[in-house]
Amino acid sequence: MKKIGLTGILLAGCIWVQASGKPAYRLFTAHGVEVEYSLMLQEMTGADLVFFGELHNNPIAHWLEIEMVTDLYREVANRLMLAAEMFEADNQLLLDEYLHGWISTGRFEEEAKLWKNYSTDYKPLVEFAREHQLRFIASNVPRRYASMVAAGGFEALENISSEARAWIAPLPVPYDPQVGSYRRMLEMDHGGGMTSVHLPKAQALKDATMAHFILDAWEPGQLVFHVNGSYHSENHEGILWYLEHYRPGLTIVTVATVLQENMDELDEEHRGKADYLIVVPANMTTTY
């Protein structure tokens, strides 16, 4: 079975594997100490920002996202705000109209630029925000601008219109090629040409834009729960590098999702990637 469409099936499966001695996940601190979910949640309630780094097709990560949001709402109520990489900034108006009930579900899903796994993996978060009247920030840069930078570097943005600039981080975008996540992108890419040279800059544009729109929405006393691919927040790099540049001193909790063959302890390669590591069996089924 490759696709899990019903949350109930997934939850039933999680209960079964826990009871049979095959945990669906285990939770560790950055140093590899196993920790209770409740203790992690307690730390999150005192934070300004929480970054949940997911593997996009991992059902355990998606289940825990909605579980955490539900539990955080129980603790902090309307101080909670959601945000996600999966929604581009120029869809904010459409998302707001849907959350306020001004347009139908069908209209929203037809017109929004939704990921292919939206209905199984991200719709529960949107519907939770709609039900409880929580703000939901479309934080990511429109893909076309990231593609421009991947092809031509930051210089490709110099002549875009003022209307277009409203959907990206303020220019010029600060960029440090020695930040680990960007350096590793170049090391992993063996294509050679100019596009590969500029690829980390496109990643940086996404990270900077997400940081920008999170900060634009956040106010002291609020708690933002941001969902993104793990690579955007691992090792407190990516989005967090830009948050530190734009507004240092925020209290941030990070979560990363990793796959392991052995669930007994946190592999050395994953230590330090986040404040909390969700370890999922490597053979876990996927949502696509």
Question: For residue 143, which of 202, 59, 190, 224 has the smallest C-alpha distance?
Answer: 202
20 belongs to a structural domain: no
**Residue 21 pLDDT:** 78
pLDDT averaged per 10 residues in sequence order, the chain, 288 residues: 41 48 94 98 98 98 98 98 98 98 97 96 98 98 97 95 97 96 82 70 98 98 98 98 97 98 96 98 95
pLDDT value of residue 80: 98
Sort 250 into a burial class: Cβ within 10 Å, 0-12 / 13-18 / 19+: middle
114 within domain boundaries? yes
Cα distances (Å, whole numbers) of residue 159 to 2, 110, 201, 269: 44, 31, 17, 42
Sequence-ordered list of residues with C-beta below 8 angstroms from that of 256, at least 6 positions apart, any chain: 53, 230, 233, 234, 270, 273, 274, 276, 277, 278
Q: Residue 193 sits in a domain of what CATH number?
A: 3.40.50.11550
Assess if residue 10 is contained within a domain: no
The count of domains in the chain is 1
- Residue type (1 letter), 23: P
* pLDDT at residue number 187: 85
In a domain, 2, yes or no: no
Residue 255 belongs to a domain: yes
Position 135 in a domain: yes
Residue 287 is assigned to a structural domain of this protein: no
Inside any domain, residue 11: no
User: Which structural domain range is residue 263 located in?
Assistant: 25-281
